[in-house]
Structures are given as structure tokens and as C-alpha cells.
Amino acid sequence: MSDTQAMSPKKRVAASASVGAMFLMATSAIGPGFITQTSLFTVQIGASFAFAILVSILVDIAIQLNVWRVLGVTGQRANELGNAVLPGLGWFMGIVVFIGGIVFNIGNIGGTGLGFNAMFGLDPRIGGAISALIAVLVFVSKKAGLALDRIVVILGAIMILLMLYVAVVSAPPVGEALKNTVMPEEIDFLIITTIIGGTVGGYITFAGAHRLIDSGMTGPDYAKEITRVSVAGILVTGVMRVLLFLAILGVVAGGVALSKDNTAADAFRHAAGDIGLRMFGMVLWAAGLSSVIGASYTSISFVTSQKTSLRTRNFLTVGFIVVCAIAYVIMNQAPQKLLIFAGAFNGLILPIGFTVVLWVLIARRDLLRGYKYPIWLIVIGVLSWVLTIYLGWNSFSKIGAIWA
């Protein structure tokens, strides 16, 4: 009998939820924007981008360790914890995430449509509608939680395997990349903060934590498991970014000038020919679909409570996806200005949410249910909080500039 078969039903559900939460967070971060950013930054600073990736992973781990552990130990979602600290704050966070989630999902559905177009030459609107239907089916399933966990794992595995293939065939200068990981020829702090915000900014870092809470993995007894899963989620995202970086770097190092309009697609085509372009379509589709699922699940989790029935939450999530899909089909494009606005607006969530987390550690330890929080984790949490304030200020300053 295998270890999995020997598990009790409760432990099997917990194991599935752990992996699902890890990939939900990771695949929510790995959207169309993630692919575009990584591609452009690799072209911009070459092998030095390896250093930016390393620093971002370390900072992401510091932030997510604290957020997931506090939410998991208290057993409260970010919006619930916000209301416990300051009545009404959690609902404000929920409204911000919900508004940003609608606009992001229009863009994510657009990404799935473009993925279908690259794979099969299908009209992006039809591809987007099909992808939205697949996302809806996840939440109308009788076992929606299990379906959610499984599909994000499958989509994550597809992206990693395809990216690994292209990274190998592009023959990147791995030695140069390793050297620049610790001794970079160029350091760009704007790039570092940008990819940190793209990985754990906004709703993303809360996605997996909310999934763990919904699965019942809460309380001091689960602190170690929560820690392990939170770090693993960041590492999955990091692996994906490294593979994409190496794939692009291999093509650029070969002297190929990539298109500025569609850098990643061009790199895949140069690395593996027409089949490479089809692979890019699959990666873009998987990234878009997983982000649709992650953004929809998390947006609804921010405007409901744990007292809300699962059936009601799933019904609201389906409605959320349908509205976004209709908006995309009608507009037939991702509204660029709105996407930038949503990104900036949503960038306020992490600093607010992280402030709530630190406030619990400093002034509301009663919410930790008797758990003795490690001092070293509080220290790196405070240091990370300073960075989230900087990221939030950047986002806030962009809001006014967008409409100027």
C-alpha cells in the first residue's frame, strides 16, 4: 500500500489543499503580465536579471512567510483580520481587490484568447469564451475545492515542462547566468521592485493563504505546514521565472534581435520554430486560465466570509467570471489604461494587508490563539513591510498619473 493510500481521508484532503494552495498562489502570479515582464527585463539587462530574480525570491519569501503564517494561525482571511483590527478596513480591502480583480480578469481572459490564437489560429474572442467556460466548470463541480486544487497543479506543471523544453533548446549561457546571480554586471532596483510587486503584490500573496483557510488548515498546529507550503509557492514561481529567463537569454545571447511587441513569442519561435510558437500559445493560455481562476477565487473570498456557504461563494465566483468574459468579448481587447489603473490600485492591498499582519503581531497577539511567534520572523517582517510601503507609494503615485 502506498503512502497516499495509507493516508486518512482528512490527511488526503489536507495534502491536496496544501499542493493546491501552493500552485494557486504561484499560478496566480504567473499570468500574461508575468511573461511579458520577465521577457522584457531579460532583453533589457541580460544575464544580470539573474540577480534581480534571486533578490526578489528572498524578499517574496520574507513577505509570504509572515502573511501566510499569521492568516493561517489566526484562521482568518485578510479581510476578516482587517475588520478585527479596525472595523470596516477589511471591507475596504475587499472592495479594492474586487474592483481590481474584474479588470485583471478581463485581461487574463484576453491572454487565454491570444494563447488559443497562437496555438490554433482561433479568433481570440472565441478562445477567451471557451477558457472562461472551463474556469466556470471548475466552480460548478460538485467537488469544486478538489477541482480547483487539481487544475491549478496541472496548469502549473504544463507551464513548467514547456518552459523547461524551450530553455534547454535555446542553449542559454548558464555559466554567465550563475555568475551574475551573485556578481551582477548591472543592478536595477526598479526592475527588482517591479517583479516583487508582480509576484506577491496585490491579492496574489493572499490567494493560497485563503485556500488553506477554506480547507480547514488553520491554527498553531499547522504553523510548520503553512510555512513549508508558503515557501514552496514562491519557489514554484521562481522556477518558472528562471526557466523563462534562460529561454529568452539563450535566444538573445545568440545575437537574435527580438520583437518589442511580442518578445516572448518571438523568442519561442526562434528557439524551437513553429512548434515553439505553439508552445508559447499553450504557456500563455495556461498562464491566463490559471490567473482567471486565481483572481476570481480570491476576489470573491475578499468580499465574503467563512460563514458564507460554499454554494453561494461558487455561485458568485461563476457570476464574476461570466461578467468578465462578456466584457472581454464585447470590448474585444484588454483595456490597457484600465489594466494599468487596476494594477496600481491593487498595489495598495499588500501594504495595507501587511500592516494588519504586523499589527496583530505587535498589538493583537490574542488573535494568534496562544502561538508564540518567532522574533526573527517579526524582524524580517518589519524590514519587508518598509519595502511594501515603498511599493504601495509607487502604486499610489501612478493612479493620479494615469488619468493626467
pLDDT at 403 (0 to 100): 52
Q: What is the DSSP string of 234-290?
A: HHHHHHHHHHHHHHHHHHHHTT----SSSHHHHHHHHHHHHHHHHHHHHHHHHHHHH
Residue 94, CB-side half-sphere exposure with 13 Å CA sphere: 20
Q: Which residue has the cell 518567532?
A: 374
- Residue at grid coordinates 500552485: 23
pTM: 0.90
Q: What is the pLDDT of residue 340?
A: 60
Q: What is the DSSP string of 162-224?
A: HHHHHHHHT---HHHHHHHHHS-S---HHHHHHHHHHHHTTTHHHHHHHHHHHTT--SGGGHH
Q: How far is CA 155 from the centre of its chain?
A: 13
- The rounded Cα 306 to chain-centroid distance in angstroms is 22
Alpha carbons 19 and 224: distance in angstroms, whole number: 15
Candidates 29, 19, 303, 263; CA nearest to 145 is 19
Q: How far is CA 301 from CA 71, 92, 108, 213, 320, in A?
A: 13, 13, 19, 11, 12
Q: How many CA atoms lie within 13 A of 160 on its CB side?
A: 15
- Grid coordinates of 19: 499542493
In the numeric block, the cell 490564437 is attached to 117
Q: Hunting for cell 481587490 — which residue is that?
A: 97
Cα angle, residue 35 at apex, residues 195 and 260 outer, rounded to 5°: 100
- Are the C-beta atoms of residues 295 and 105 closer than 8 Å to each other? yes
Cell 469564451 locates to 129
Q: Are 29 and 187 in contact (CB under 8 A)?
A: no
* One pLDDT digit (tens) per residue for the chain, 404 residues: 455 555 555 566 567 778 889 999 999 888 888 888 899 899 999 999 999 999 999 999 999 999 999 999 999 999 999 999 999 999 999 998 898 888 889 989 988 998 999 999 899 999 999 999 999 999 998 888 888 989 999 999 999 999 999 999 999 999 999 999 999 999 988 888 888 888 887 788 999 999 999 988 999 999 999 999 999 999 999 999 999 999 999 998 888 777 777 788 889 999 988 899 999 999 999 999 999 999 999 999 999 999 999 999 999 999 999 999 999 998 866 555 565 666 666 777 888 899 999 999 989 999 999 999 999 999 999 998 988 888 778 766 766 665 55
Taking the C-alpha atoms of residue 235 and residue 65, their distance in angstroms, rounded to an integer, is 12
Answer for the pair 90, 221: CB distance below 8 angstroms, yes or no. no
Place of cell 498562464: 287
Q: How far is residue 94's CA from residue 92's CA, in Å, rounded to a whole number? A: 5
